Structure formats: C-alpha cells, structure tokens
Amino acid sequence: MPTLSAPAWEYWAVFLAVMSAFLFVLMGLDKFKARTGRWRISEKTLFVFALLGGALGGTAGMFLFRHKTRHWYFRLLFPLFAAAQLGLCLYLLIQ
C-alpha cells in the first residue's frame, strides 16, 4: 500500500484552501441572490462550510462582498473559526 509522503499540514492547507475558495464563492453568490431577490443560501449552510474549513474564505467574502456584516455572529465567529483552522495548520507544521 502506498504511503502519503507530504506532511499532514500540507494536506490540511490544501483542504483549507479548497473549502475557503468554495465558501468565498458561496458568499458572493448569496450576495448576488440577495440583491436580485432570488432564492438564498441559508445561514446554516454558510456556517457549516465555515466550520468544515472554509472560514478564511468566508471571512474574506463577508468583507469583500459586504455580505452578512450586520450580523454579529458572522463578524465574530467566521474570523474565530479561521484563526482556529489556521492555528491547527501551524500546529501541524511545527510537529
């Protein structure tokens, strides 16, 4: 059976990048839908993807698109989740 040669932090970093890009796009799409009066992406869905590793992209999308910035729980929790996810990546890097 082949072994994985890259360190764990590299896999985690790639995972975070993919999830962040996805949530960034979701934030932009939800903002577009909000402006055009279309069906929206639920806040629960946005939070699930933030918890699953997309918090950095969600935070960037929140401020770039000026979307969900009036909700204190987005302004507080998205950056908090991002810090925790990046902290885990740094922890894996120094191990």
pLDDT tens-digit profile of 57-80?
Answer: 999 999 999 999 999 999 999 999
- Domain interval for residue 26: 13-94
- A 10 A CB-CB count for 73 gives 10
- Could you tell me if residue 31 is inside a domain? yes
pLDDT in tens, 11-59: 888 999 999 999 999 999 999 999 999 999 999 999 999 999 999 999 9
CA distances from 56 to 2, 27, 37, 61, 75 (A): 32, 12, 27, 9, 12
Of the two residues 10 and 17, the one the predictor is more confident about is: 17
Instruction: Please indicate, yes or no, if residue 4 is contained in any of the structural domains.
Output: no
Number of domains observed in the structure of the chain: 1
Asked, for residue 64, whether it belongs to a domain, the answer is yes
Residue 5 within a domain: no
Q: Is 2 part of any domain? A: no
For residues 68 and 63, what is the distance between their CA atoms, to the nearest angstrom? Answer: 8
Predicted confidence band at 5 (pLDDT cuts at 50, 70, 90)?
Answer: low
| Between 17 and 89, the higher pLDDT residue | 17
In a domain, 35, yes or no: yes
